[in-house]
Structure 1
């Protein structure tokens, strides 16, 4: 994965602020070449990535709560690079902005998952040089093994947290980064953050509890049954705000926020209702 930080001079280096400010754009200090301080706006990466998943799935142009100022700053930077028309600079991270951001990623030499239209930490920091600084950075981490299935470090941490809530092990039927592995998955497992979980030996109540625990720690998760598609009973889970999500998985996460089931029929969500949190939001609540 092409995630290494690009070198920049001391005159243009931008700090990635790790403070826990609320979503939205505020201000930050960036050193100028003369040593004086200039005020730059901030872009909350968590809020921006969330908007990039939800906004393209909306039937209207409602902006994602807490994301408008950050998305505007990103869109203005894309417009300045002649990648986004001014008419789409509105704080709504819809399909035009996703496409523009993907084009920007490709202009940096990124391909595949690194050019999926979701802002990655490195590309977002580079886009902001001289324009904004980045707060609340997200990284999927390296790819690791989970009982023979590939996931990334962020997903691994989320699964471990769900196991702690449940006091039981989670067994995967399918991991992440598995393009073409299961045609019934419709590309959702091509990228990171997505897993299928075995429900073998679980009662109906246990299945529901597992889905609930996965949702608590930041997954868009649903119990799937054979009546819905050509698959056995299993739990499908996509990690919200994983910047390695395939386009199909991004759409599932957006639909989850909109109260839908993550399937092509876009029916109402059939899982346990909880307050939706990302992994980072869940951690801050602990």
Structure 2
């Protein structure tokens, strides 16, 4: 609706959420081989693929058409039906398209739960999705940003982003140094809000050749970032690499827009120009892990 997605470190990134009789698995249980066992009632419920749902919530609002995000329709429909039943979304918008109207409805739902700030950013998070699905659907392919940690001496990122950066370093065989981290509201006005939430970093490129800058951007894209080499002609900033983690549910609204534009072949800037970065198959961090 135009108006208004090292080895699997993440068996701990749970395949089931405790909804309607589904047993949630802790990280410790997952490591010890325990599996979530759905009850008979839960097994009868349909399932929402959180990865596909979140991907659609980033891409669909940026589309100029009503094309559906591949693999997301069934999950989006379940969420839209639940929002409609709560009188937060008109039934005419229950169509499998997570556009701006559905995003606004999901934000209202998050706020109805008492969530604020990044917890009410319109992206379905683990907690709000579990509450919405109670008695309606189970949730698989759960995404969790994780706790806030430091990358380098002073910059803050979430655990999921930290793992992505560490893997990019392995791919590159070089250390990455940040110029800016995440959760930095108002810290850099030129960032226009992209760093207000999680999943977003700027990489220092001092001393890098043009070829090296491109190779770093490519490695970041390979592990699940939308990443671009930025130069002074584009804005009031020095040379750097801007990277936004696809499907991080702590993304600010502005960062969500960058992800949507990346999937649509654009440069992540306000002018929505053509993507000028290295060409790779676009994948999320979770998709990358399943392939390696």
TM-score (norm 2): 0.88
Tell whether 2:254 aligns with 1:254: no
- How well do the aligned residues superpose, as a CA RMSD in angstroms? 1.8
The aligned residue for residue 244 of structure 1 is 250
Q: Which has the higher strand share?
A: 1
The aligned residue for residue 14 of structure 2 is none
Counterpart of 1:274 in 2: which secondary structure? Answer: coil
The aligned residue for residue 44 of structure 2 is 39
Equivalent runs, 1:134-149 vs 2, <5 Å: 134-147=139-152, 148-149=154-155
Tell whether 2:224 aligns with 1:218: yes
Distance in 1 of aligned mates of 2:166 and 2:241 = 16
Equivalent runs, 1:179-194 vs 2, <5 Å: 179-194=185-200
Counterpart of 1:139 in 2: which secondary structure? Answer: coil
The aligned residue for residue 160 of structure 1 is 166
For the Cα contact (< 8 Å) 1:11–1:31, is it kept in 2? Answer: no
For the Cα contact (< 8 Å) 1:30–1:39, is it kept in 2? Answer: no
Tell whether 2:119 aligns with 1:111: no
Q: Taking CA–CA contacts closer than 8 Å with sequence separation of 6 or more, which of the two structures ends up with the larger relative contact order? A: 2
Distance in 2 of aligned mates of 1:15 and 1:62 = 35
Find the partner of 1:206 among 204, 208, 212.
212
For the Cα contact (< 8 Å) 2:217–2:278, is it kept in 1? Answer: yes
Tell whether 2:259 aligns with 1:229: no
For the Cα contact (< 8 Å) 1:198–1:235, is it kept in 2? Answer: yes
Alpha-carbon offset, residue 168 of structure 1? 0.3
Cα deviation, 1:36-80, whole Å, max 9, x if unaligned, reads: 676111000000000000000000110100000000000000001
For the Cα contact (< 8 Å) 1:15–1:134, is it kept in 2? Answer: no
The aligned residue for residue 10 of structure 2 is none
| Runs of 4+, deviation exceeding 4 Å | 15-18
Q: How many aligned positions are there? A: 265
For the Cα contact (< 8 Å) 2:21–2:42, is it kept in 1? Answer: no
For the Cα contact (< 8 Å) 2:19–2:137, is it kept in 1? Answer: no
Distance in 1 of aligned mates of 2:83 and 2:38 = 21
Q: Could you tell me which runs of 5 or more consecutive residues in structure 2 were left unpaired when the two chains were aligned.
A: 1-17, 27-35
Distance in 1 of aligned mates of 2:233 and 2:19 = 60
